Structure 1
Amino acid sequence: MVRLTADLIWKSPHFFNAIKDRELDLRGNKIAVIENLGATEDQFDTIDLTDNEIVKLENFPFMNRLGTLLINNNRITRINPNIGEFLPNLHTLILTNNRLVNLVEIDPLASLPNLKFLSLLDNNITKKPNYRLYVIHKLKHLRLLDFRKVKHKERMEAAKLFATKEAEEAAKKVPAKTFTPGEVKDSDSASKPDHGPRVVGPTPEQITAIKAAIVNSQTLEEVARLEKALSTGQIPAEFAVPTKDASNSNNTNNTGKADQMEVDKNENQDSKGNQDEEKQETDDATPIEED
């Protein structure tokens, strides 16, 4: 475990990112607790805490400038109920691939007055019934949830579904659709063999290419999409390489062509040999004239 010290903050990379925001890069440091962010002196528009071991989204100083917080691939289970008091201008929060389970756990985000872009992908909370409508109901200013635009129809449906306090409380008590060890799957799905393609991890070349693409990305959506590809191992089509099966197929085709050429060659040789034998027999059968 690494502590987030003032010294670590000062030594970490900071730069203007693709959208011209001043960004502090604290990713991949195995940080477990958010602390000492006052050392930033509120000089950054974006802070990247991706790929750490943070459990609680709390302990922020007052940061009026901070607009984007990237904290995907951590272990977040709890959010400070008063987070909005310390991050009044936070508009983008990426919480992809954390450990949020219950709907009540995102209620503190309602205290963020300017939150417009939120990702909760790859959290168990997304498996809750009416998850999306609940989040839309709680976060009135949200424009993009899980990289999908929040539509007016969804807002109306959410308002209707959670019109009463009782309906809201009931939604919080519904368990998530998670797999329980020992649970028997549906007999139809269990009896069907899985013929889907086997997922193969990315090659070092693909990882390097994706990381380069992240650096050159122009939007947060593109950054999150590529980071998710790295974390899940599901490589986007533009980085795919020919599979081994395809190579084997080509080799098989080439081998088949070579075999066919050899057969044709042998047949031609046999045919020529037969013609020579017939000619020899004809010559032997020709009578010799005596003088």
Structure 2
Amino acid sequence: MRLTTDLINNSLSFINCLTERELDLRGHKISAIENMGAARDNDAIDLTDNDIAQLGNFPLQPRLRTLFLGQNRVSNIQPNLSTSIPNLQTLVLTKNRLTELADLDPLAGFKKLVFLVVMGNPVAAKENYRYWVIWRCPSVRFLDFAKVKHDERERAAELFGTSDEPTELARTIMGIKSKGFSLPATNGNDAAYGKERIYTEDEKKRMRAAIQAAKSLTEMAQLEKAFAEGKIPAYVLEGGEPMET
């Protein structure tokens, strides 16, 4: 089913126990997030039990603080999602299809994210999963319903370093994504929704090599943003034979 403006406008909207204005879009078998401009006046949106594969395509919604997306098919998070919903505090992604640790990296942009639930995804079984999330998302205080402890933050720093000087382990993890590089949905513009630049295998190898060779997290983020927007810096394409990863 499509997420139409009629469906949004006719769905239940109520004040929840946290005194948030919540929109109930549960269980409609929605396949993609779209037309969310019609849902701007809500603090919380419940999209549990649908068929959504990509978390993205939100217009600017500074009011949105809580997002429920459990029991979907989410395997990809839009790289610049945090610029659209910058004040997100609670995100529930239980029982989706996120696979690699680097698939969670877009969550690092949420500077106010406090409660995060990723349990029930394949990524939650990865080695160092909890430490990775704690390192990439320092604002998170509760991960999978367990409070983040100080010694966990210290261990995460030992494993992955700092944003300016990530360890070799951190660089390696950042170069592994389950679905490669795709153009994110365009903030609620239905005409452009779902259009992706298709990269050749050669381009993908060069992009992965460029990310792994980056000297800081800032440089990595800039490269990932460029790739997500369908742009490849000339020096990446002209850098000789692509490096295998």
Provide TM-score, normalisation by structure 2.
0.69
Detail structure 1 runs of 4+ shifted over 3 Å in the superposition: 170-176
Whether 1:24 and 2:7 are equivalent positions in the alignment is no
Equivalent in the alignment of 1:190: none
CA offsets, 1:115-137, max 9 Å, x none? Answer: 11100010000111011001100
CA offsets, 1:55-100, max 9 Å, x none? Answer: 0001000001000000000000000000110001000000000000
Equivalent in the alignment of 2:116: 118
Q: Which amino acid aligns with 1:6?
A: T
Q: Which amino acid aligns with 2:53?
A: V
Please give the residue correspondences for 1:118-267 in structure 2 after superposition, counting only pairs within 5 Å: 118-163=116-161, 164-171=166-173
CA offsets, 1:231-265, max 9 Å, x none? Answer: xxxxxxxxxxxxxxxxxxxxxxxxxxxxxxxxxxx
Structure whose CA Rg is larger: 1
Q: Alpha carbons of 1:36 and 1:175: their partners in 2 closer, same or farther (altered >3 Å)?
A: closer
Q: Distance in 1 between matches of 2:25 and 2:142?
A: 25
CA drift of 1:165 comes to: 3.5
Q: Distance in 1 between matches of 2:109 and 2:173?
A: 20
CA offsets, 1:183-216, max 9 Å, x none? Answer: xxxxxxxxxxxxxxxxxxxxxxxxxxxxxxxxxx
Relative contact order, CA 8 A, sep 6+: which one is greater? 2
Q: Distance in 2 between matches of 1:122 and 1:158?
A: 22
Kept in 2, the 8 Å contact 1:23–1:46? The answer is yes
Whether 1:67 and 2:69 are equivalent positions in the alignment is no
CA drift of 1:166 comes to: 1.2
Q: Distance in 2 between matches of 1:156 and 1:174?
A: 24
CA drift of 1:172 comes to: 5.4
Q: Distance in 1 between matches of 2:108 and 2:129?
A: 15
Q: Distance in 2 between matches of 1:101 and 1:14?
A: 33
Whether 1:39 and 2:38 are equivalent positions in the alignment is yes
CA drift of 1:157 comes to: 0.7
Please give the residue correspondences for 1:274-285 in structure 2 after superposition, counting only pairs within 5 Å: none
CA drift of 1:175 comes to: 11
Equivalent in the alignment of 1:230: none
Q: Distance in 2 between matches of 1:33 and 1:104?
A: 22
CA drift of 1:171 comes to: 4.2
Identity fraction in percent: 48
Equivalent in the alignment of 1:89: 87
The answer for unaligned runs of 5 or more in structure 2 is 179-245
Kept in 1, the 8 Å contact 2:102–2:176? The answer is no
- State the Cα RMSD in Å: 1.7
Higher helix fraction (1 or 2): 1
Q: Distance in 2 between matches of 1:175 and 1:15?
A: 38
The size of the alignment, in residue pairs, is 174
Q: Distance in 2 between matches of 1:175 and 1:115?
A: 22
Of 77, 86, 90, which residue of structure 1 is paired with 2:75?
77
